[in-house]
Amino acid sequence: MSKTATLEIEGKKYEFPISVGTENEMSIDISKLRDLSGAITMDQGYKNTGACKSEITFLDGEEGILHYRGYSIEELAAKGNFLEVSYLLIFGELPTASQLQSFETDIRKYTLVNEEMKNIIDGFPKTAHPMGVLASLTSALTAFNPKAVDPNNKEELYTAVCKTMGKFLVIATWTYRKTMGYPLNYYDNTLGYVENFMNLMFKLPTEPYKANPVITQALDKLFILHADHEQNCSTSTVRMVGSSHAGLFASISAGVSALWGPLHGGANQAVLEMLEEINANGGDAAKYMDKAKDKNDPFRLMGFGHRVYKNFDPRAKIIKVAADEVLGTLGVNDPILDIAKKLEALALSDEYFVSRKLYPNVDFYSGIIYRALGIPTDMFTVMFAIGRLPGWIAQWKEMRENKEPIGRPRQIYTGSPLRSFVEVDKR
């Protein structure tokens, strides 16, 4: 028997269907609420609002569980590689060996970025933050690829996916080359995707370059861990912008802007800056814990807390282990790793953090690895964006294939009631 929920408003009862997801998550479908009763629901920050049904990612914040298309993040991070996980997210199944090879080859076909894009980069000051430049360049790609993708045309959609995966990686690294004043590199079709990232970032025309496999493997894992996270701020933005039938590049550009904020992807840069500051001020982690708890102090412990996880972020657990491994293998002895561990231990036994269920999130340890791998701090959020790209694509594709309606929330107006215009000389 199908389940329903009953809502009583001013003595009148209304029934709404309940739908249940694969993992028994429950939702009350209130889409007819306003038509029936004149009322809407209010849920600032969408803490209780489901915006779509999705087959891509399952997340249980209470238990600290994350699955992509039914596979646990732990297994994917241990056994998968970034391109096969991207394929899984976007197309729904793990690729066969030949599908994976074709995917990689097809991405390579689109890794050349129009040379005129360089004129756009030239317009930015060297001091511009890479995320701002990346959002602009992603948006600019629409100018060079003006034809909107038909989501119902499988071939066209596949080409758009490959184009986005290829070109985004290149322009993401160009944002860094610009800040350094280095010549912009091209993708090397004889190398793998993540190896290419390192080449694009660090290869200089004056000397040979070979990426360290320890570094490329660590980055591959980090990209997998960031690849999707269901309806977070940037992904909801991508779906929302795409719901107006704006193109894939335009929607992803909006996602990049949403990701940049320090409460979202920008937290990885903020964490590292915070740890550096603690280190520079004598390493007193307890003092910063007190600041984070002081309601009169705007300081927050960056890399702690999550809208959905009220338990350990499973990605943070994997990254913490990886941070130890990578720093050990590379022989890096970084005092800020010790400060991070000290902060974590203090927070996990502190009443303020325990009662609010604030645990380390994905951004807490990722910056420490990026730093050990030689990635500049300003590029941390760009790294997140590269990892999140397949998730954004998958969610945009699903939204268009499901023919979801344009996103358009309601509001309750709390401004002035109707009043008469007063001419300027009489105000």
Amino acid, res. 22: T
* 34 or 356: CB nearest ligand CMC: 356
- Name the minimum Å distance from CB 50 to ligand CMC: 16
| Residue among 228, 306, 313, 350 flagged as catalytic | 306
Contact between 154 and 184 under an 8 Å Cβ cutoff? The reply is no
Cα–Cα distance measured from residue 178 to residue 251, given in angstroms and rounded to the nearest whole number: 24
- Name the minimum Å distance from CB 79 to ligand CMC: 24
Residue 150 is among the residues annotated as catalytic for this protein: no
- Name the minimum Å distance from CB 257 to ligand CMC: 13
- Name the minimum Å distance from CB 295 to ligand CMC: 7
Cα–Cα distance measured from residue 197 to residue 340, given in angstroms and rounded to the nearest whole number: 27
- Name the minimum Å distance from CB 45 to ligand CMC: 6
Contact positions vs ligand CMC (CB under 6 A): 45, 232, 263-265, 267, 292, 300-307, 356, 358, 361-363
Give Cα 396 to chain centroid, integer Å. Answer: 13
* 203 or 306: CB nearest ligand CMC: 306
**69: which strand partners?**
none
Exposure b/e, 16-27, CB count within 10 A at least 16 = b:
beeeeeeeeeeb
Long-range contacts of residues 65-73, Cβ cutoff 8 Å, at least 24 apart: 65/314, 66/229, 66/314, 66/315, 68/227, 68/228, 69/93, 73/224, 73/225, 73/314, 73/315, 73/318
Contact between 226 and 387 under an 8 Å Cβ cutoff? The reply is yes
- Name the minimum Å distance from CB 147 to ligand CMC: 32
Cα–Cα distance measured from residue 370 to residue 57, given in angstroms and rounded to the nearest whole number: 25
* 45 or 205: CB nearest ligand CMC: 45
* 156 or 230: CB nearest ligand CMC: 230
Long-range contacts of residues 126-130, Cβ cutoff 8 Å, at least 24 apart: 126/178, 126/179, 126/181, 127/179, 128/178, 128/179, 129/260, 129/378, 130/172, 130/175, 130/176, 130/178, 130/179, 130/378, 130/379, 130/381, 130/382
Which helix or strand (DSSP H or E) is residue 19 part of? strand 12-20
Q: Angle at Cα 317 formed by Cα 319 and Cα 357, nearest 5°?
A: 130
Give Cα 163 to chain centroid, integer Å. Answer: 19
Residue 29 is among the residues annotated as catalytic for this protein: no
* 225 or 372: CB nearest ligand CMC: 225
Annotated active-site positions, please?
Answer: 306, 363
